Structure 1
Amino acid sequence: MFLYIAKLLFSSTLVVSLATTAFSQPVRLIVRSDDMGFTHAANEAMIETYQNGITTSIEVMVPTPWFPEAVTILREYPDLDVGVHLTLTSEWENIKWRPLTSVPSLTDDRGYFHPMIWPNENYGDDQALSTQDWKLAEVEQELRAQIELAKREIPQLTHVTGHMGCSHLDERIEAVVRKLTEEYGLAIFPEDLGVKRAQYQGSKETAEEKISSFIAMLEGLTPGTYLFVDHPAYDTPEVQAVHHIGYTHVAADRQGVTDLLTSEKVKEAIRRFNIQLIDYADLVQ
């Protein structure tokens, strides 16, 4: 009888100990703001979400027209975690960008990047990079140039990511990206480190819905490390003029993201749920 009670007590203690250990592990969250450089309003909004909000990492697109301003801004925040958002597409209808190098297999007949990586119901084979006769050597040439320019201009770079999934277009391109990140000291890949994607839990049409759905997501996170990605900007005439087929409410939508990332309700929820905000560099420390 004594032995049975002793085993029962040991078992109960072990369960409590394991449960305590599990729940004592932190919930860590990277909040990544993408597409710096595509407009002036995006540049300003991203810095606001870092200064007054919860953004911990910003991704900058090197070939974009507002990249020089992005460089000026980012140099003022040397502790801000920054990634090169490798770019092989130019998706908007009223604003376009070209590659940094001569890579004709990656561009349309006007010299711009194609709008899409993969065909969809709005953009067919002729406007998607994946269906073109792209050359791997030209992909590497262009991505190398983007990384080198970003490293020269932005000292605090820690990693690279792929705009519109361009780095996952083909396994050969993935291999090139990994080779370049090793070469330039930017090899931080969250997917290799067990980081999970965090996504809105609910509707996200309006700013209020985004905030509610984001807090619902926070509430459901279990111990571990997560990555949340979205695209802040301001609802200004500049961004109101930017759109592509299938996505016409860009300015209002991205203003909603800015509102979410600077929301006092969201910041209070992060404190209440004891969530640790981290950046890419923290993953390898």
Structure 2
Amino acid sequence: MKNLVLSLIFGLTVSFGFSQQNEEFQLLIRADDIGSFHAANKSCIEVYKNGIARSVELMPPCAWFTEAVEMLAENPGYDVGIHLTLTSEWSNVKWRPLTHCPSLVDEDGYFYPMVWKNSNFPQNSSISESDWKLEEIEQELRAQIELSVKHLPHISHLSSHMGFTGLDPKINDLVNKLAKEYGLEVDTKELQRFTGWGNDIPPEKRIDKFCENLKKLTPGKYLFIEHPAKNTAEMETVGHIGYENVGEDREWVTRVFTSPKVKQTIQQKGIKLISYADLKQ
């Protein structure tokens, strides 16, 4: 009994000591979807070189993957993750798998637009409505991982585009298995989600709201995910029912991530910007 009490006390002491060592503000800013568009590639690099992003998610099946790889090779300090992709959500731009996986594509051979059934889309527009095969998902994800690490061996982690790992525990287990096999991390649950600005904030007020929420942070590790891009003619073609103003929306993400006011707030608050590679170490 005495040994049990001592063990419990010792365990509590160790846990308390760990929390004391982590009484700091750590924030992981993640830029998603490099490789999807030229406008996204430019902004994803800009928000690293001139902004606050420290991790970026690469989409292997997309049209601008090759340019993205070249840009990332020129910025080796930028932490890169593979944004495993099984959907093609935009109305005027479509992506195909790297492998033959008929259970994951529509009648034209493109990935389905959605992971889950969506009222804005016709029936059978999602993976959830298809007769998906786990073995086909595995072969496609393996191809995406191997293509990415072939060009960027320093890749540190995996994440899932549109959160498809939540579709079924077997898919989540598969991604965890592949991460372990290839020596990569997965999107960690130890990070608290940072609010950023919220859906009801007009774009022109995002910088102020972002700074306001930064000032409210309590000690801990936080994650904020967004999709920077330039509001160019290319992005005028990008959208789907329910999300039409993509170019403007993502231009403002770029502005927030490169804002001098945001960078100053982070410095004054004593927030340490981290990456998935930092967590891995």
TM-score by length of 2: 0.90
Tell me how far 1:200 sits from its aligned partner.
2.4
Q: Deviations over 1:214-251 (max 9, x none)?
A: 11221121111010000000000001111111000000
Q: How does 1:142-181 map to 2 (within 5 A)?
A: 142-181=140-179
Kindly indicate whether the alpha-carbon contact (under 8 Å) linking 2:159 and 2:186 is maintained by their aligned counterparts in 1. no
Unmatched tracts of structure 1, length 5 or more? 1-17
Tell me how far 1:201 sits from its aligned partner.
4.3
Q: What residue is the counterpart of 1:5 in the other structure?
A: none
Cα distance in 1 between the residues matched to 2:21 and 2:158: 32
Q: What residue is the counterpart of 1:50 in the other structure?
A: 48
1:214 and 2:246 are equivalent in the alignment: no
- In terms of mean alpha carbon deviation, does 98-107 or 182-191 score higher? 182-191
- The percent of aligned pairs where both chains have the same amino acid is 49
CA 1:262–1:190 in structure 2 vs 1: closer, same or farther (change >3 Å)?
same
Cα distance in 2 between the residues matched to 1:247 and 1:212: 23
Q: Deviations over 1:83-122 (max 9, x none)?
A: 0000000001111110000000000000000000011220
Q: What residue is the counterpart of 2:225 in the other structure?
A: 229
Letter of the 2:249 counterpart: D
Q: How does 1:116-155 map to 2 (within 5 A)?
A: 116-155=114-153
Match of 1:75 among 50, 70, 73: 73
SS in 2 for 1:99: coil
Letter of the 2:41 counterpart: N
Q: What residue is the counterpart of 1:239 in the other structure?
A: 235
Cα distance in 2 between the residues matched to 1:155 and 1:24: 30
Cα distance in 1 between the residues matched to 2:88 and 2:61: 9
Cα distance in 1 between the residues matched to 2:21 and 2:270: 11
Match of 1:278 among 250, 274, 280: 274
Cα distance in 1 between the residues matched to 2:102 and 2:22: 54
Letter of the 2:98 counterpart: L
Tell me how far 1:212 sits from its aligned partner.
1.7
Cα distance in 1 between the residues matched to 2:253 and 2:144: 27
Letter of the 1:122 counterpart: N
SS in 2 for 1:180: helix
SS in 1 for 2:255: helix
SS in 1 for 2:223: strand
CA 1:219–1:95 in structure 2 vs 1: closer, same or farther (change >3 Å)?
same
Q: How does 1:178-189 map to 2 (within 5 A)?
A: 178-189=176-187
Q: Deviations over 1:179-230 (max 9, x none)?
A: 0000001124421xx2111122455654432112211221121111010000
Larger Rg: 1
Kindly indicate whether the alpha-carbon contact (under 8 Å) linking 1:39 and 1:66 is maintained by their aligned counterparts in 2. yes
Cα distance in 1 between the residues matched to 2:200 and 2:78: 27
Cα distance in 1 between the residues matched to 2:143 and 2:279: 26
The CA RMSD measured in Å over matched residues stands at: 1.6
1:253 and 2:235 are equivalent in the alignment: no
Kindly indicate whether the alpha-carbon contact (under 8 Å) linking 2:22 and 2:220 is maintained by their aligned counterparts in 1. no
Letter of the 2:218 counterpart: T
Q: Deviations over 1:10-57 (max 9, x none)?
A: xxxxxxxx9xx8698111000000011111010001100000000000
Cα distance in 1 between the residues matched to 2:21 and 2:65: 43
Match of 1:97 among 73, 95, 98: 95
Cα distance in 2 between the residues matched to 1:125 and 1:283: 41
- In terms of mean alpha carbon deviation, does 96-105 or 124-133 score higher? 124-133
Cα distance in 2 between the residues matched to 1:201 and 1:249: 17
Q: What residue is the counterpart of 2:7 in the other structure?
A: none
1:34 and 2:56 are equivalent in the alignment: no
Tell me how far 1:124 sits from its aligned partner.
4.1
